[in-house]
């Protein structure tokens, strides 16, 4: 007889399985920024819920070719993001380090809940007033760093606007928006966007693939069976939902690879290549309303498949890091189940 083999229970790829440090996800890597066009690379939204869409199957080899097919989809509300600052980064021995900041003068009132004080020496006045030599101090500092070759990257300091939604939240999330293109043009683009809003249509388009990052649903303290899928013992055993062996006698310690009870959920996860099926601002409201969310008041994005996290969870999107082939299938959405 062949030898029975059972692989270990639970993946070791997601260690440590502890609660996320912050609920707002942050992308640390992006697609190559050597393109000539200056464009934001990431965006944020709030998870509304799930529904299903009906579209015509474009795959010629599929048995449902040219037929209407239903597929699960997730709706994300994407209110515009307000740009309140510009930050220049320089290369350090241990990574990137913030070199200089520029802040917009007329900041939203809600931002005071998140950012208590801002540096006044690098302040830029509003659009209606003229920018004098003294008030251009922040821009001059960054331009000087660019000439000296110290500054290597420009990012936008932005805040989400949950007050525009119906989630009942006042404190906005402060995020960084990365830019593509040459550094000199990044600065010009960033200054032109200072004090203005960025919409999701400026970054993504329909039938485009994006990466999704969010914090999953928190499920508290769980045992090894639910947390790792360990096989339960027979009814006559003293304990049914435990690990059979904690390890050898030597070394006299329990290794980290052994399945143990602990935190399950509320962990940051990234999912690759999620297709954007629809970007629209039409009314999307089921008869019973969106459970645990409310009404969609802004633009929304319909994404194929599921997205980590519960309703109202902040979700980060970026351009797909693992690029697929150019001959992508185009999905034409015929009907969204929640649109009634």
Q: What is the pLDDT of residues 12-29, one digit of tens each?
A: 888 889 999 999 999 999
Q: Tokens 């329909």: give the residue.
A: 206
CA–CA dist 71, 53 (Å, integer): 5
Query: Which residues lie below 8 Å from residue 182, measured CB to CB, with a gap of 6+?
Result: 36, 38
Q: What is the pLDDT of residue 160?
A: 95
**Average confidence (pLDDT) over 92-105:** 84
Q: What is the pLDDT of residue 117?
A: 60
Residue 27 has phi, psi (to 5 degrees) of -90, 135
**Burial (0-12, 13-18, 19+ Cβ within 10 Å), 21:** exposed
Residue 34 has pLDDT above 70, yes or no: no
Q: Is 186 helix (H, G, I), strand (E, B) or coil?
A: helix
What is the domain partition of the chain in residue ranges? 80-197
- Assess contact for 309 and 317: CB atoms under 8 A: no
Indicate the class that CATH gives domain 80-197: alpha beta
pTM: 0.88
CA–CA dist 191, 138 (Å, integer): 11
Cis before 206? omega within 30 = no
pLDDT tens-digit readout, 185-218: 888 899 889 889 999 999 999 989 999 999 999 9
**Average confidence (pLDDT) over 90-117:** 82
Q: What is the pLDDT of residue 136?
A: 58
Q: What is the pLDDT of residue 131?
A: 40
- In this structure, the dihedral spanned by the alpha carbons of residues 263, 265, 266 and 269, taken in order and rounded to 10 degrees, is 120
CA–CA dist 214, 309 (Å, integer): 6
- Assess contact for 204 and 276: CB atoms under 8 A: yes
């Amino acid at each position: 007889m062949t030898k029975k083999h059972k692989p270990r229970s639970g993946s070791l790829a997601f260690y440590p399985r502890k609660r996320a440090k912050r609920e707002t996800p942050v992308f640390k890597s992006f697609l190559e920024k050597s393109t000539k066009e200056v464009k934001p690379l990431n965006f944020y939204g709030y998870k509304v819920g799930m529904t299903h869409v009906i579209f015509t199957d474009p795959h010629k080899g599929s048995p449902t070719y040219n037929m209407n097919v239903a597929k699960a989809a997730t709706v994300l509300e994407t209110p515009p993001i307000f740009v309140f600052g510009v930050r220049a980064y320089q290369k350090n021995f241990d990574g990137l380090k913030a070199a200089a900041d520029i802040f917009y003068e007329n900041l939203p009132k809600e931002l005071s809940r998140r950012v208590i004080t801002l540096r006044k020496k690098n302040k830029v006045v509003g659009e209606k007033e003229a920018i004098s030599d003294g008030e251009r101090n922040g821009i001059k500092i960054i331009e000087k760093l660019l000439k000296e070759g110290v500054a290597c990257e420009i990012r936008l300091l932005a805040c989400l606007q949950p007050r525009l939604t119906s989630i009942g939240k006042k404190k906005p999330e402060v995020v960084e928006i990365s830019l593509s293109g040459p550094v000199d043009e990044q600065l010009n683009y960033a200054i032109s966007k200072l004090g203005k809003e960025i919409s999701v249509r400026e970054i993504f388009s329909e039938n485009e693939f994006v990466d999704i990052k969010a914090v999953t649903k928190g499920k508290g303290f769980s045992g090894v069976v639910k947390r790792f899928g360990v096989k339960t013992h027979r009814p006559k055993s003293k304990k049914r939902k435990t690990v059979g062996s904690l390890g050898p006698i030597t070394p006299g310690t329990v290794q980290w690879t052994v399945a143990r009870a602990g935190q399950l959920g509320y962990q940051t996860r990234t999912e690759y290549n999620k297709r954007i099926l629809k970007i629209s601002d039409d009314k999307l409201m089921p008869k019973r309303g969106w459970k645990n969310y409310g009404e969609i008041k802004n633009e929304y994005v319909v994404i194929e498949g599921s997205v980590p996290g519960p309703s109202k969870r902040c979700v980060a999107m970026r351009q797909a890091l693992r690029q697929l082939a150019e001959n992508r299938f185009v999905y034409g959405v015929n009907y969204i189940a929640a649109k009634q």
